[in-house]
Structure 1
Amino acid sequence: MGLDLTVLGCATPYPSTDNPCSGYLVSHGDTRLWMDAGTGTLGPLQRHTRLEDLDAIWISHLHADHSADLLTTYYALLFADVERDRIPLYGPPGIADRLATFLTNGPQRSPVEDAFEITELHHGHKTAVGSLRLTTAAVEHGIPAFGVRIEAAGASLTYSGDTAPCRNLTELASGTDVLLCESESAVKTSDMAHHTPEDAGETATAAGARRLVITHVGRFLTPQEAVTRASARYSGPIDHAAPGVTFSVG
């Protein structure tokens, strides 16, 4: 019984015909965690688990390519054929009102709390979801944004979310078995809010990560280009988070 990471999608900033935006399923035994709910990820999620069996949702930040499918999930939970209690939802401060604003076009606030049991994240937040232990750290993306380390049965997975290289992420990923790190920027700029592939390699090296999985590659790079560039700064094994692939962690 291992810790598994299934890629639902990793496109940015909009889905392609065969790749939804950011979304991942983390599973261990009977525990199922949906990590980021980017545009189009609710569909492939259901290839692997029913919403009735989902233990929680964790959202790194509120850009649409990481959170938009929360809106359709709300309708599924309240107005369709899904029968279950509220899904625990972990996300940045203000997530409830942001969802309600999108779902409301009238004087009454949408009752998002009827669908989700909402917990706002903060730096250092710790919780357990089934057999998974989650530790959250604030990262640098220009808006409230978080990375997460997930541990189970002696294995560890660290997810960067969207962020520029930062100490909090490196410390969060220290000694991790797998670092799932975004690589959206093709080149460094003065207003960087993302990793370049080289940055991803440097973060993995600094953290002592045992394996690097490149994800959220910008549209001006191919996945292979991103992997090749990251390998110049990291000597361990590197993969690309291709949609539909499942990685065994640890």
Structure 2
Amino acid sequence: MGLSLTVLGCATPYPSTDNPCSGYLVEHHDTRLWMDAGTGTLGPLQRYTRLEDVDAIWISHLHADHSADLLTAYYALLFADVKRDPIPLFGPPGIADRLAGFLTNGPTRSPVEDAFEITELHDGHQTTIGTLLLTTRAVHHGIPAFGVRVEADDVSLTYSGDTAPCQSLVELARDTDVLLCEAESAEKTPDMVHHTPEDAGDTATSANAGRLIVTHVGRFLSPQEAVARASSRYQGHVDYAAPGTTFTPR
């Protein structure tokens, strides 16, 4: 199998009846990466792969709509029928203590490291997961937050995470085959920490991305509006990250 992206969910800031929060499965040959683990994404993940077969988890930032299902994954890994070594988990600084703070209910800290082999991200972090090369850049979201570029077989997919428009995302996505970019905001505000659809189009244009997929569309926008507005600023093909859809960069 070539590089592919399956949308587990993209709702914000809470799941709807047919759309979990942000989560994606990236696959290439036998490598499987769970990219963001927002509320409700562990369920649909299992339509495509077993938790035992996930090679790593990458988390863009610690807002619940991108990370809350790490808590349910913890219980699956330690107290249920899933048998495997700890899953490599890449996430923002402080992710281990954040998880332990939610999970601990008594004097003894919950053993999150028994479920996850944790690596803290930093700007410029790079790692290889199976056949995938991941490059992480810090982005602008008001808290520690990251975007990631995934590469395999000279094909690339870049994911914005949650961020205001920023040069580091443009640099990360330079000449990428697919840009998966959030488009949460219906309108610009002085304290922006998200893209509008127009911003997503501008970022794709500035990066010379081959294709744009808008995701994390806010509740005051329809997917159709988001695609149309992004298309007004980007001449390439624009899709919406509909739950259950699988995209192939080429």
Q: Fold-level match, TM-score > 0.5?
A: yes
Q: Which residue of 2 aligns with 1:163?
A: 163
Q: Any idea what SS the aligned residue of 2:57 has?
A: strand
Cα distance per residue 1:80-131 (max 9 Å; x no partner) = 0000001000000000000000001221110000000000000000000000
- Segments of 5+ residues of structure 1 without an aligned counterpart are none
Q: How does 1:13-92 map to 2 (within 5 A)?
A: 13-92=13-92
- Matched pairs, number: 250
Cα distance per residue 1:139-184 (max 9 Å; x no partner) = 0000000000000011000000000000000000000000000000
Q: Any idea what SS the aligned residue of 2:248 has?
A: strand
Q: Any idea what SS the aligned residue of 2:89 has?
A: strand
User: Quick one: percent identity of the two aligned structures?
Assistant: 80
Counterpart Cα distance in 2 of 1:190 and 1:100: 35
- Segments of 5+ residues of structure 2 without an aligned counterpart are none
Counterpart Cα distance in 1 of 2:145 and 2:109: 25
TM-score normalised over the length of structure 2: 1.00
Q: Any idea what SS the aligned residue of 2:202 has?
A: helix
Counterpart Cα distance in 2 of 1:107 and 1:193: 37
Q: Which residue of 2 aligns with 1:205?
A: 205
Aligned residue type for 2:201: G
Q: CA deviation at 1:249?
A: 1.3
1:173 aligns with 2:173: yes
Aligned residue type for 1:180: L
Q: After the TM superposition, which parts of structure 1 deviate over 4 Å for at least 4 consecutive aligned residues?
A: none
1:220 aligns with 2:220: yes
TM-score normalised over the length of structure 1: 1.00
Aligned residue type for 1:200: A
